[in-house]
């Protein structure tokens, strides 16, 4: 018989963290799982570590492949998965031991195509940085799935009942059969940013029943040093490609009135990411100001700046948007200096 859950773990240059991740899988209270370690051409000791885990535990499969990035590694794992449900775990993170037993039982009880749970953000020393409360929700039938998809894209601030569903594939169980039916796979994060979102909005139309639970089981490792990485034009291009992909998706499925406010929320999120990393970057001060101004004047923002929905945003966002619109670029440098 096939296992109940397949856990796909892309592995690349994570010697320091891999054992904690794998042991959290091996120690799951749900014993009937398979653990698929996808060695994405890691140049360190990770390939040998993966092979050793497979010798220790018959539930572990190892896929060795040429390096192609996270999205392609996940796809390689999907191709060999045999579980009734599929999930993912990044190899520097780890999962609480009861997680898969609990979420699988919910999936079976309610005949779900997907069930998502929540994460806590944790420092390297184990200190919890953030654990956001999330309200449970259920979506049944195509109309409610459409609401779910729009919530994945972003909240419509003109409606009080609208929500944003911030999700990761690592915090959800998916019915494996739908991977076969849909043939939807992950895009490469080397081509487009937020590959999780692109996957989810394309996968969701094949689902009938979805549940979001408030239980927190996933431990997402935050490395404070990572926020100091320099901004690059290539990263910005990947962010814009993601917005293009979401816009094309929406244009093909919804009227402009149905999706535009959801899309504006996603658009603001992406430009906030760009402005944050420019502000953290190591460019000379004047060059940084000019760079921030170029981004805040991006043509994609022209219609957003004129949108009536901005008046419904929280005050903090309205201030941020005003700084963008009127090119108060020093605001971003000071904001992220103090947040850091």
Cβ atoms of residues 262 and 291 within 8 Å = no
| Mean pLDDT, each 10-residue run in order, the chain (340 residues) | 96 95 98 98 97 98 97 98 98 97 98 97 83 88 96 96 92 98 96 94 98 96 61 87 97 97 98 94 92 96 97 98 97 88
By the 10 Å C-beta count (0-12 exposed, 13-18 middle, 19+ buried), 29 is classed as exposed
Looking at residue 131, what is its pLDDT?
Answer: 73
DSSP state letters, 179-194: HHHH---PPPTTTSS-
Task: Report pLDDT for 77.
Answer: 98
Strands (E), 92-208: 94-95, 114-122, 128-130, 137-140, 172-175
- Contact of 235 with 206, CB cutoff 8 Å: no
d(CA 117, CA 321): 31
Please report the pLDDT score of residue 228 as a whole number: 43
Strand-pair category, 137-140 with 60-64: unpaired
Which of 211, 208, 205, 317 is closest to 250 using CA atoms? 205
Instruction: State the helix-helix crossing angle for 46-56 and 18-26, rounded to 10 degrees.
Output: 20
Its pTM stands at: 0.93
Q: Are strands 172-175 and 85-88 parallel, antiparallel or unpaired?
A: antiparallel
Strands 85-88 and 209-221: unpaired
- The torsion angle over the Cα atoms of residues 147, 149, 155 and 159, rounded to 10 degrees, is -20
Burial of 236 (0-12, 13-18, 19+ CB in 10 A): buried
Q: Where do the H-state alpha helices sit in 161-232?
A: 177-182, 195-203
């Amino acid at each position: 018989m096939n296992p109940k859950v397949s856990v796909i773990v892309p592995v690349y240059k994570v010697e320091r963290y891999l054992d904690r991740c794998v042991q959290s899988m091996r120690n799951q209270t749900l014993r009937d799982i398979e653990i698929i370690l996808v060695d994405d051409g890691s140049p360190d000791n990770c390939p040998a570590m993966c092979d050793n885990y497979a010798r220790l535990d018959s539930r572990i499969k190892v896929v060795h492949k040429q390096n192609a990035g996270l999205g392609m590694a996940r796809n390689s794992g999907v191709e060999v998965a045999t579980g009734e449900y599929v999930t993912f775990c990044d190899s520097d993170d780890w999962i609480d031991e009861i997680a898969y037993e609990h979420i699988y039982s919910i999936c079976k009880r309610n005949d779900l195509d997907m069930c998502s749970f929540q994460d806590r953000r944790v420092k390297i020393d184990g200190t919890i940085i953030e654990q956001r409360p999330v309200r449970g929700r259920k979506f049944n039938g195509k109309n409610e799935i459409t609401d779910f998809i729009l919530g994945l894209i972003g909240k419509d601030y003109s409606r009080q009942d609208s929500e944003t569903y911030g999700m990761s594939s690592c915090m959800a169980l998916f019915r494996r059969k739908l991977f076969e039916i849909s043939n939807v796979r992950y895009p490469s994060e080397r081509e487009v940013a937020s590959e999780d979102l692109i996957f989810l909005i394309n996968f969701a139309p094949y689902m009938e029943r979805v549940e979001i639970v408030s239980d927190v089981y996933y431990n997402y490792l935050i490395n404070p040093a990572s926020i100091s990485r320099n901004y690059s034009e290539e990263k910005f291009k990947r962010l814009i490609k993601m917005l293009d992909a979401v816009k094309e998706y929406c244009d093909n499925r919804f009227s402009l009135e149905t999706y535009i406010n959801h899309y504006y929320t996603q658009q603001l999120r992406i430009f906030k990411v760009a402005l944050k990393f420019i502000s953290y970057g190591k460019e000379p001060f004047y060059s940084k100001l000019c760079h921030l101004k170029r981004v805040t004047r991006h043509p994609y923002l022209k219609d957003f700046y004129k949108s009536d929905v901005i008046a419904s945003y929280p005050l903090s966002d309205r201030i941020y948007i005003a700084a963008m619109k009127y090119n108060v670029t020093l605001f971003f440098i000071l904001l992220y200096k103090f947040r850091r």
